[in-house]
Every structure is written in C-alpha cells, then in structure tokens.
Copies of this chain bind each other. A is one copy, B any other.
Amino acid sequence: MPQTRLDIARIRAAQQVIDPIFRNTPLYRCEALEPHLGCAVSIKLETANPVRSFKGRGSELVASQLADTGSRALVCASAGNLGQALGWSGRGRGLDVTVVASRFAPAVKLDRIRAMGAQLELVDGDHEVARERAAAIARYDGIRLVEDSLDIETCEGAATIGLELVDTVPSFDTVLIALGGGAMATGVGHVVKALAPGTEVICVQPLGAPAMTHSWHQRRVVSTDSTNTIADGVAGRHPIPAVLDDLLLVADDAVLVQEKSIVAGIRLLLDHAGLVVEPSAALGIAAILEDPDRFAGRHIVTIVCGSNVDMDAYHRWVGTSR
C-alpha cells in the first residue's frame, strides 16, 4: 500500500457521497482504434455527465463536506473544468462558488462556469496567476480555498475512477493518465498501486507544459517559466511539493508528448471511436502513438477525462474548417 496522503477506506467512502451521475462511467474496449495503435485499448469515458469531465467526482466531495460544516462559500482557481464542476456541485447545495480563471481559458469553459451560477473572476495571466488570486480572495473573504490536487478531496474524488478500473477482469497491463496538477494521477495511481499493483501507471504530459514530469524524473520540484500547449487542462508551471511526493510513490513513469501527437490522438478518437475530446483527454493516445513498441501487444486503458473544447479550435485540429 503506497504511503501517500490518500486512503483507500476514505476513497471507498467517497463513492457514497459523489452523485451517481459521475460514477460508474463507461469502460469499454475500443477495437476500431487498435489497428492504429498496435495494442489493445480500452476507454474510461469521463465526459458523459453534466460537466463533461471527471472533475465532478472531486467537486462532489468538496461541496458535500463544506455543506456539512455549515459553510456557504468557496473559491477556487480553475483551468475551466474544476470551476464547472464546483459550480454544479455548489449550486445543488446552495453554496456560493467563486471561480478564478485565466482569461485565456477556452471561452466555452468560462461560459459554462457562468451558466452553472458561479461567480467568475478572470485574471490576465495564466493558471498560476489565477491560483494566487484565488488564495488572496480566500484570505480576504475568509472562505474556503479549494486547491486542485493539493486538497485531498480532489485527489480522492478522482481516485474513485481507480476503484472502477481495478474491478475489471481481466486486469489491464497499463493505465495511461493525463498529468497536470496531479489530482487524477495520484488518485488513480494510488488505487491501482494499492489494489492492482501489477498494473503499470504511466502519466502523460505535454512537452509544452512539462513541470510535473520534470519534477517526477528529478525527484524534486521543477518549475517552468511558461507553458505552450493546446492542452489547457494540464498547463501548470508550479508543481505542489506534497502532490509530487505522492506521485513519486505511485507512478511507474511520466512521459512527455508533442503537440502534433496530441492532435493526432484527438483525430483518432473522433474518427475511430466517435468521441469528441479536449486535448488533455488525448494525451494517453498520444503517448501510444509516440512509442508504439513500448505498448505493442499490451492491454492499455486510457482515461478520456474531458470534452470541454472550443469548437473552432477543435475543427482546426481535426483538419476541418467552417
């Protein structure tokens, strides 16, 4: 059992708290992809829910615990998906949700955050600037700051995906997980290493936003000055030390992929799986495309973690125009 901050008993208990609409998501073999990838591929689909990403699992934990304490307000920084999810979970419980986001986040994500009834504040910088601003708001207003990947609920919410993966028979050889702040990677990784230790856990990050991957390889926090990737959902620059510590215990590897491979993954998922995905959700397929020999003949599962994508950009990526 890896000695991370996460706890299997709490993760099992979390399943009872999270709205069923986010749980027991589709998990299925996608044979039409396989001739293009050279391995068996299963999809864990986290997009068929009201917020179109896996973040509802964590937001449900956060919001239900806050509501239980009698608190009524929270603030978070979000690349777009956590904000939608906290908006959804908070609205159902009468919470005041404030989301701080980069004004460069996809407009569709910002629109959906507003539509959920959350207060949206935009900052001129990137996600790291939004994090600083959210922390300042929390201090000033004396309300709960939700920090993605640092707050254990965000990791243990995502970890419930892991419980759904390890129940599968036969087990997978490898799980490919998009790596950003690390909530999904440490969450799913913890469960897999605890309950299916023979399954390999590989994190995938864009070459254009490599901070956590560099940190994992060097076993110390490595920040970057900027990011340059279409995968907005995983574009952080400052890894959180406690999250890195956990990731070091549960990941077997962390790899970086090129932008063109992410785009190729987006296209493959559209053409052969009929799935619309945001770039972060194509990182696993991109990793297979870049190193097919590594995965040849194995059974891979990749988590399709979100589908909140700007449609104009999407059409450019899939080679179409309108």
Shortest beta-carbon distance, A60 to chain B, in Å?
14
- In the complex, the answer to whether B315 meets A320 with C-beta atoms within 8 Å is yes
Chain A positions 227-276 with a Cβ under 8 Å from a chain B Cβ: 270-271, 274-276
With A25-B26, A311-B271 known as contacts, the answer to whether A31 contacts B52 (CB < 8 A) is: no
Residue from B25, B28, B49, B321 within 8 A of A320 (CB atoms):
B321
Q: Which of A25, A112, A274 has the most CB of B within 10 A?
A: A274
- In the complex, the answer to whether B50 meets A274 with C-beta atoms within 8 Å is no
Shortest beta-carbon distance, A232 to chain B, in Å?
15
CA distance A321 to B32 in the complex (A): 23
Residue A154 CB within 8 A of the other chain:
no
- In the complex, the answer to whether B274 meets A308 with C-beta atoms within 8 Å is yes
Main secondary structure of the interface of A (DSSP, over half): loop
CA distance A311 to B270 in the complex (A): 9
Minimum CB distance partner of A34 in chain B: B115
- In the complex, the answer to whether A274 meets B321 with C-beta atoms within 8 Å is no
Residue A24 CB within 8 A of the other chain:
yes
> Number of contacting residues on A, CB 8 A?
34
- In the complex, the answer to whether A49 meets B26 with C-beta atoms within 8 Å is yes
Residue A17 CB within 8 A of the other chain:
no
- In the complex, the answer to whether A50 meets B31 with C-beta atoms within 8 Å is yes
Question: B residues within 8 A CB of A142?
Answer: none
- In the complex, the answer to whether B26 meets A26 with C-beta atoms within 8 Å is yes
Residue A319 CB within 8 A of the other chain:
yes
Question: B residues within 8 A CB of A27?
Answer: 21
- In the complex, the answer to whether A48 meets B32 with C-beta atoms within 8 Å is no
Residue A307 CB within 8 A of the other chain:
yes
Question: B residues within 8 A CB of A315?
Answer: 320
Residue A309 CB within 8 A of the other chain:
yes
Residue A29 CB within 8 A of the other chain:
yes
The 9 closest A-B pairs by CB, nearest first: A320-B320, A26-B48, A274-B307, A274-B276, A319-B322, A320-B322, A45-B48, A28-B50, A28-B49
A-B contact pairs, 17 of them (CB 8 A): A21-B27, A26-B26, A26-B48, A28-B48, A28-B50, A29-B50, A30-B50, A31-B50, A31-B115, A32-B112, A32-B115, A43-B48, A270-B276, A274-B309, A276-B276, A319-B322, A320-B321
In the complex, given contacts A26-B26, A43-B48, what are 7 additional A-B residue pairs having Cβ atoms less than 8 angstroms apart? A25-B26, A32-B115, A52-B274, A270-B276, A275-B276, A319-B322, A321-B322
